Structure 1
Amino acid sequence: MKVSIITVVFNGAEHIRDCIESIINQTYSDIEYIVVDGKSTDGTVDIVESYGARIARFVSEPDKGLYDAMNKGISMATGDVIGLLNADDFYRHDRVIENMVATFKRTNSDAVYGDMLYVDRVDTQSLKRYWRSGWYTENAFLWGWMPGHLSFFAKRWMYEKYGLFRLDMKSAADYELLLRFIHKNNAKLAYMDEVTIVMRAGGISNSSLKNRLRANREDRLAWDMNGLKPYFFTLWLKPLRKLSQYITKPPKPVTP
């Protein structure tokens, strides 16, 4: 099973080595690694190019933002499975892709997802949040559930059949895509009960009350776009469910 991993970056020289190293050091060998750069000016391009053929595809050109860059990468991907890993982030250990592929094969699923950690941008040992996605149950989106987007690996045919990220959304394009794939089109899911992704804290949807309210409006729009109707409390449960992420502690990584 060929796996395409896509990293999008713009002026990410400070952290992109961590991201790249976490991918090229995976134990699973059949990985197509694609990097989509938004015409960086801080040395990012030189860092990426220094890895040579270990990066299968690299483009550096202006884009229309994060989701446009992700769509470019997805369109270039030739793998059976597609995953996304942003330049500030990295895999928690070197068996993430191996475990993910094994989960696909064992469950014959359309998509696989896991858990995520949010850490301090400088001190990555300092935990901020633990996003435990948990097991999916039918209609879980109605109760405010969603998996961590970057922990989500989907078969390429799903993007081809159901579409890419919508560029008319600012912060909820990931939520809309997951809602479309999982809730609307009933993707068969499998859960990896482990932390797969480590993310440096900071995000456009949760950095202020104003942005949180905007994200809530976009979440509602995501349901409307798909001809779906949430419960009256669905879109308020979604941010409320995140409160436990600041309290719950993650398990230690399992040593192979």
Structure 2
Amino acid sequence: MISIITITYNAGPFLERTIKSIAGQEGCVLGVDYEYILVDGASPDDTLNIVRRYEGHLSQWISEPDRGLYDAMNKGQALATGEFVWFMNAGDELYDEQTLQALLTYMQRNPACDVYYSDALFVRDDGSPVGLRSEVTPHRLPTELRWQDMALGMKVSHQAFVARRTIAPTYPIDNLSADLDWEIRCLKAARRVGYVPFALCRYLVGGLSVQKHRQSLIDRFKVLTWHFGLLPTLWNHAKIVWRAAVK
């Protein structure tokens, strides 16, 4: 069983599309193939009205103040009981109605993996596509992913990264690049990593790291320094600056 977790705060205009994309998965049964957990940060908008409207499609949900996105993600992960965890936050969607069944089939055929990952389709607020992440960003998606591949930044969208719950660490809640740290730690702990040959999600462009871009870059540098050391990280950031200058 996969634990799908949605984190939301004041995202009423986008939350419904996320819930509907998960509730509409063909051939999958809530409580058997997957559980669906929603963690809200005590939103003052119409989030709770939406949650109550779709309550029958949720395994459990909570709404309470938190210390930010990654504190809420830690709460969701602590509530999870599935063998794997998969974060699909407000505004994001599973790629289409067959995605979950296709992923479960792939996992059954490749059962030894601790991490499964794929590409993500970037979409705008209105749902229109921007393009696959591997095509519209400098981050090319390797078909044999290692934690060392993250030296220049996040190779895989968080919403296209499914990890075995027993290897999934908690998130540092005071770092805007905590998802990068989480993915690296999962890859370090994984015995085997599986590339899923189809897109898993539609990723809503924007988010906290875009809204606070400068702090996100500083926090990304911290994360990469933790895992790769100071001098290699300085050298790799010089590569990033050079790549941006010649683009």
Which consecutive residues of structure 2, in runs of 5 or more, have no partner in the other structure?
135-140
- SS class of match (1:195): coil
The AA in structure 1 aligned to 2:177 is: A
- Superposed CA deviations along residues 109-139 of structure 1, whole A, max 9, x for unmatched, are 00101111222212x1242x42133313443
TM-score w.r.t. length of structure 2: 0.84
2:40 partner amino acid? D
Candidates 173, 181, 187, aligned match of 1:176: 181
In structure 1, C-alpha distance between the alignment counterparts of 2:211 and 2:41, rounded to whole Å: 23
CA distances 1:141-172 after superposition (whole Å, capped 9, x unpaired): 2354521111111111112xxx2111121x20
- Partner residue of 1:254? none
Cα offset, 1:40, TM superposition = 1.2
Q: Provide the rounded CA distance (Å) in 2 between the counterparts of 1:215 and 1:164.
A: 19
Cα deviation, 1:71-119, whole Å, max 9, x if unaligned, reads 1010000001110001111111012222222222222200101111222
Partner of 2:35, secondary structure, is strand
What's the RMSD between the two structures over aligned residues? 2.5
CA contact (8 A) 2:3 2:80 kept: yes
Paired residues, number: 232
Partners of 2:239 and 2:22 lie apart in 1 by 34
What does 1:140-219 align with in structure 2 at a 5 Å threshold? 140-144=149-153, 146-159=155-168, 163-169=169-175, 171-182=176-187, 184-207=188-211, 211-212=213-214, 214-219=215-220
Measure how far apart 1:21 and its partner are.
0.7
* Residue in structure 2 matching 1:118, options 117, 122, 125: 122
Partner AA of 1:48 in structure 2? V
Q: Is the partner of 2:38 in helix, strand or coil? A: strand
1:59/1:218 CA distance change after superposition, 3 Å: same
CA contact (8 A) 2:113 2:190 kept: no
Identity in percent: 27
User: Retained in 1: the 8 A contact 2:77–2:85?
Assistant: yes
Q: Which moved more, 1:107-116 or 1:216-225?
A: 216-225
Q: Distance in 2 between matches of 1:47 and 1:146?
A: 33
Amino acid at match of 1:49: R
What is the CA–CA distance in structure 2 between the aligned matches of 1:112 and 1:104, rounded to whole Å? Answer: 8
* Ranges in structure 1 where 5+ consecutive residues have no aligned partner: 244-256
Q: Which residue type is aligned with residue 165 of structure 1?
A: Y
Letter in 2 for 1:190: G
| CA distance in structure 2 between the aligned counterparts of 1:68 and 1:174, rounded to whole angstroms | 12
- The answer to whether the 8 Å contact 2:42/2:63 transfers is yes
Letter in 1 for 2:170: L
Amino acid at match of 1:45: L
Q: Secondary structure at the match of 2:108?
A: helix
Change (3 A) 1:175 1:12: same
Helix, strand or coil for the counterpart of 2:144?
coil
Partners of 2:115 and 2:192 within 8 A in 1 = yes
Contact 2:121–2:129 (CA<8 Å) still a contact in 1?
no
2:13 maps to which residue? 14
Change (3 A) 1:121 1:31: same
Query: Does residue 60 of structure 2 align to residue 57 of structure 1?
Result: yes
Residue equivalent to 1:220: 221
